[in-house]
Amino acid sequence: MTSQSAPRTARDFARIELTRAILEAARRHLAEVGPGELSVRSIARDLGMASSAVYRYFPSRDHLITALLVQCYDESAALVEAADAAVRPDRLRQRWIAMTLALRAWALDNQHEYALLYGSPVPGYAAPQDTVGPATRVPQALLQLMADAEEAGTVLGAPTAPLSRKERAALAPISASVGRPISDERVLRSLTGWALLIGGLSLELFGHLNRGVLDYDLNFRCLVEQAADDFGL
């Protein structure tokens, strides 16, 4: 780890402070240039230090990106969770709408960050273990919504052919992560919802709707409303 517990000495304090400053500058750059062109050198210039000094705090550009990844996952997930919590728990449909709109709002405000999280992986980059926790917060929130829907006894929209044993087995780790009983059909529904959400946002933000859809806000709203219908919310 980079910082051990408390800043005992002045040096410790300076270290965590500079680490924060570097990350902050990186994030500031990310607002303008996109993940692929994030440059350690320009960040260092921005902070008035030699580029080699940055490597005292982040051993490589990838480590810096990992830190940004975690920060952005957490930031967006916090917004989604907050939007969820702001709605009465039994208003299931409204919660779904609120969560999806929250993620879209964040994505629109932080397009390069969205690309970092859900776009193509950065060049030679393989996400380390640190990111998986934060990365699962949003899909977990969707899962919890579905579990609530199951407890409330809502019926799924369209009739679905029952899943085979093998199909159920493939979803086992997810079902187990919910922490309470949930049918495999609902687990699958949350996956669908997640895929639809990310797909819709990616198509919009990566420019695939350019010629075609005129009103992006309205289009996204239609998408999630229709999904709510399908999910029986």
Asked whether 220 and 204 are in contact (CB, 8 A), the reply is yes
173 binds a second copy (CB under 8 A): yes
Nearer to a second copy, 57 or 175 (CB): 175
Output the six-digit token pair for 230: 């399908």
50 binds DNA (CB under 7 A): yes
Shortest separation between residue 162's beta carbon and DNA, angstroms:
49
Nearer to DNA, 51 or 160 (CB): 51
14 binds DNA (CB under 7 A): yes
Half-sphere exposure of 91 (CA within 13 A, CB side): 11
Nearer to DNA, 18 or 101 (CB): 18
Half-sphere exposure of 122 (CA within 13 A, CB side): 23
Output the six-digit token pair for 171: 């979803």
Stretch of residues binding DNA (CB under 7 A), selected from 52-60, 90-98, 113-121, 160-168:
52-60
Please choose which of DNA, a second copy, none residue 4 contacts, taking the beta carbon within 5 to 8 angstroms, the exact cut-off set by kind. none
> Is residue 142 classed exposed, middle or buried when 0-12, 13-18 and 19+ CB atoms within 10 A define those classes?
buried
CA-CA distance, 98 to 113, in Å (whole number)? 21
Amino acid identity for residue 10 in this structure = A
Residues 21-40 that bind a second copy (CB under 8 A): 33-37
Output the six-digit token pair for 121: 């992986």
The CA-based diameter of the chain, rounded to the nearest angstrom, is: 64
62 binds DNA (CB under 7 A): yes
Q: Of residues 5, 6, 8, 210, which one binds DNA by CB under 7 A?
A: 8
**Closest Cα to residue 75, out of 14, 10, 30, 18?**
30
CA-CA distance, 179 to 45, in Å (whole number)? 48
Stretch of residues binding DNA (CB under 7 A), selected from 12-20, 152-160, 186-194, 196-204:
12-20
β strands within the chain, DSSP E = none
195 binds a second copy (CB under 8 A): yes
Count other Cβ atoms within 10 Å, centred on residue 181: 10
Per CB under 8 A, residues contacting a second copy are 33-37, 115-116, 118-124, 127, 132, 135-136, 139, 157-161, 163, 166-167, 169-174, 177, 188-189, 191-192, 194-200, 202-203, 206-208, 210-215, 218-219, 221-223, 225-227, 229-230, 232
Per CB under 7 A, residues contacting DNA are 8-12, 14-15, 18, 38-42, 48-53, 55-57, 59-62
